Amino acid sequence: MNRIAIYGSRRQDAYLGELASLFSLLDGAGFAVTVHPKLGSYLAEQGVDLRGARISSRLPEDTGLVLSIGGDGTFLRSARWVGKGEIPILGVNTGHLGFLSTCNIDEIGELLGAVCRGDVIVERRMLLWVQSPSLSPDMWPYALNEVAFLKEETASMISVRTNIDGHFLADYRADGLIVATPTGSTAYSMAAGGPILEPTLDCMAISPVAPHTLTVRPLVVGGDSELELTVESRTGQFRLSLDGRSYPLPAGEKVRIKRAGFSTMLIRRKETTFATILRDKLLWNASKYDE
């Protein structure tokens, strides 16, 4: 691993000193570094010495590691930058919750050393693949967190006819419907009352948003399942969201969802487990009496 690529958000004013130290560290260790223009141009404007790092939106084929510097949204965009390459991503949190992050920015040196020694765990995370006739062939049809079917702002609700492996499941009448990966089970899906899933499981969670009936509940289906969903709306269209990227689609159009043929590779510390993440990030089992 002699080439590292860095993707990051532009909101790094509080961390310019740490980022300058990072580029100095990578240069001193002999790494070839590529920085995405979103972060690289911002840092150059702020006077940060990139120590010869190349600014490019093209990810070099021989990249061995990607650093994602920001929050969870930045990590999702980093995964899209990596695409189908299955390059391990190390999340560095400079955002808020940082559920997908492995370390804080002042711990990068320590984590890079652990990565070089192989003293970390690389987890394979599933993505969802979305197919629909009206989606542009140029868009990225994959989601690491979730695919959401949402009503227009002026609509009272939508109806989502859902089939699993060719068999009718339900007509969800709701403000929306979320199909989440295990990684995304702690994001929008959880906010809508969906189940929390261990992130390396091979499954999907289907959760309605504000359902208009009490007879539907969140449902977990196998990762090999293929879903076909058809939305009806009084406005004649609905919003399809992939990890927050929103697209208007006409009502009545069939949308198919299944597991993607590649994975996102996420780096985590060996001592960090799903249980510790729940306790640290979501304050799992916390009590106001805890000290």
Given the residues 13, 72, 165, 175, select the one marked as catalytic: 72
Q: In this structure, how many other beta carbons lie within 10 angstroms of the beta carbon of residue 118?
A: 8
The pLDDT value recorded for residue 282 is 84
How would residue 289 be classed by pLDDT, with cut points 50, 70 and 90? Answer: low
More confident residue, 263 or 97: 263
* Per-residue confidence (pLDDT) for residue 95, from 0 to 100: 78
Please give the Cα distance from 238 to 196 (Å, whole number): 27
Amino acid present at 160: V
72 is catalytic: yes
Identify the pLDDT of residue 1.
67
pLDDT at 291: 54
Phi-psi region of 80 (alpha: psi -120 to 50; beta: other; left: phi over 0): alpha
Confidence (pLDDT) at 2: 87
**122-143 pLDDT tens trace:** 999 999 999 999 999 999 999 9
Residue 183 — φ and ψ, nearest 5°?
-60, -40
Residue with tokens 């043929």: 261
For residue 53, name the pLDDT band (cuts at 50, 70, 90).
Answer: very high
**Contact by Cβ (8 Å): 193, 177:** no
Give residue 290's pLDDT band: very low, low, confident or very high (50, 70, 90).
Answer: low
Report the alpha-carbon distance of residue 179 to residue 232 in Å, rounded: 17
On the question of pLDDT at 204 being above 90, the answer is yes
Query: What's this model's pTM, rounded to 2 decimal places?
Result: 0.94
The pLDDT, as a whole number, for residue 197 is 97
| Joined tokens for residue 175 | 């403000």
- pLDDT, averaged across the chain: 93
pLDDT at position 87 over 70: yes
3-state secondary structure of 75: helix
| Amino acid 288: pLDDT | 58
Average pLDDT over residues 62-77: 96
Confidence at 285, pLDDT banded by 50, 70, 90: confident
Could you please report the per-residue DSSP string of 162-222? EEETTEEEEEEEESEEEEE-TGGGGTHHHHTTPPP--TT-SEEEEEEES-SSTT---EEEE
Q: What is the mean pLDDT of residues 70-75?
A: 94
- What confidence tier does 214 reach under pLDDT thresholds 50, 70, 90? confident
pLDDT score at 254: 97
37-41, 108-112, 279-283, 287-291: lowest mean pLDDT where?
Answer: 287-291
Judge residue 264's burial from the number of C-beta atoms within 10 Å of its C-beta, 0-12 exposed, 13-18 middle, 19 or more buried. buried
Per-residue model confidence as pLDDT tens digits over 217-244: 999 999 999 999 999 999 999 999 999 9
pLDDT tops 80 at residue 167: yes
pLDDT surpassing 70 at residue 18: yes
